[in-house]
Structure 1
Amino acid sequence: MTVVEPATKPVDKSQIRNAATVIALRDRASNPKVLMGQRGSKAVFMPNKVVFPGGAVDAGDADIPLAAPIPDPCATRLRESAEGDLVTALGAAAIRELWEETGLVLGQKGSWTGAPADWETFAATGHVPDASALQFVFRAITPPGRPRRFDARFFLVDADVHVATDLDDFSAACDELSTLQWIPLEEARSFDLPFITEVVLAEVQQRAQDPEPPASVPFFANTGSNSAFHRLRGLVDMDGRLD
């Protein structure tokens, strides 16, 4: 009798939402610190954990008029192993989530009339969103079995250079993250962190003194029965050139 192994259950990608997370880094040359906050005890996803600001991509994020897009090589890394071109949507989501959860502005001075409802408070600061400072440094998919799953792209930002507002003023932040604080990189892993945040912090520590975007991006994939690390190097055409 021939035994037929059951087929692996396909991943329902509709249950995995694209997301953007921002790693704001300050005092890079002296005593590097990252901005983190604590999620509430009643949060469905990662309650009580200390995390970077971030969240899911909204349907309208792809249509947000950015003053400047995420540049290459990060843009080509974002397109690799992705369904469709998400570069604009991810950049807008990163900027929006940073604003909503911390009150910090990643943008250029300018007037923005007719901003969507969830961008009105951002536009009221007198800025337009600018994604050119976002460096794509890590990607991770939430493992199966969690109440929510995300395909999260992590972006590093040199806050001293690119954040347009006071780095210590969180007065415009919503209440999604509490105890917002700049944590020295050397101390960050002593907090109650999600596993993947610890992994990302190790990557950030390696990159803290390097202002250039990484040559390749770690991708922690949880798309099947096994978890695996890959490296995103950008799309390559038939002639071996970056697309």
Structure 2
Amino acid sequence: MGGPLDKSKIIRNAATVILIRDVETRPRVLMGQRGAKAAFMPNKFVFPGGAVDIADADVPLASAGAEPCLTRLGEDADPALAPACLAAAIRELWEETGQILGEPGKWPSEVPEDWKGFAEAGYVPSPDGLSFVFRAITPPGRPRRFDARFFLADAARLKTDPDDFSGAEEELSHLQWIPLDDVRRFDLPFITEVVLSEILGNLPDLGAPSQVPFFNNTDEESLFERLGGKSPLA
């Protein structure tokens, strides 16, 4: 029999949502703080997000999502993973903040347990407005490793009150809208700072970039590439 599973060797797919508010005036981003006992990034302020679950692949979406994001999601990955990543991003946002990205409607099949509150609110998850803007694989040697896709959206897309976090689970504390010109005084992971720098360079545009930055930290080498052109960054 094999020994215990080493979670540091497993790379799980993950999805993260970066919500921007007041983009034309003083942009703010929704973030929360991870717990001190969290195995991954304890105490850090992060965007809502988490691992893709197997059940996410079967979640009915109100639309398939937009191009070029779908093509970019399938580059250096299984194209069939794209819907699951979009569903996971919406689910994690819902679980961690109580915020809904969806369209009014009824689910065509049985609702998974993680989605019951979402469905009871009268919505089907919708990726409309989600722009794929960054991808990063956690470097080797960390207690958890993820292949994370970062999605950007305007908070105006929310179907819920952006200041109401009463429906949030307890994974993130101190949920708040942080002005982007003030965000670096918070304790951020390195990758979060990199993603924010990319976003700041494109504001007020919240659309998909022409090429998606990709921190490709495989076990063999670490590369900083761009999806949608495959040209390495200098």
TM-score if structure 1 supplies the norm length?
Answer: 0.88
| Counterpart Cα distance in 2 of 1:13 and 1:76 | 29
What does 1:1-243 correspond to in 2, within 5 Å? 15-112=10-107, 114-160=110-156, 162-233=157-228
- SS of residue paired to 1:81: coil
Larger Rg: 1
Aligned partners of 2:8, 2:35: CA distance in 1, in Å? 27
What amino acid does structure 2 have at the position aligned with 1:95?
I
| 1:154 aligned counterpart, secondary structure | strand
Write out per-residue CA displacement over residues 179-238 of structure 1, whole angstroms, 9 at most, x where no aligned residue: 000000111111101100000010111122114311100000100343221000079xxx
Code of the residue aligned with 1:146 in structure 2: it is R
Alignment root-mean-square deviation, CA: 1.7
Once residues 196 and 14 of structure 1 are traced to their aligned partners in structure 2, the CA distance between those partners, rounded to angstroms, is: 20
Q: Show CA shifts across 1:48-73 (max 9, x none).
A: 00000000000010110000122110
Who is 1:241 aligned against? Answer: none
Instruction: Give the letter aligned to residue 117 of structure 2.
Output: T
The share of aligned pairs that are identical, in percent, is 62
Checking the alignment, whether the CA contact within 8 Å between 2:16 and 2:49 is kept in structure 1 is yes
1:76/1:234 contact within 8 Å kept: no
- What is the identity, as a one-letter code, of the residue corresponding to 2:179? P
Q: Is the CA contact (8 Å cut-off) linking 2:152 and 2:206 kept in structure 1?
A: no
Aligned length in residues? 223
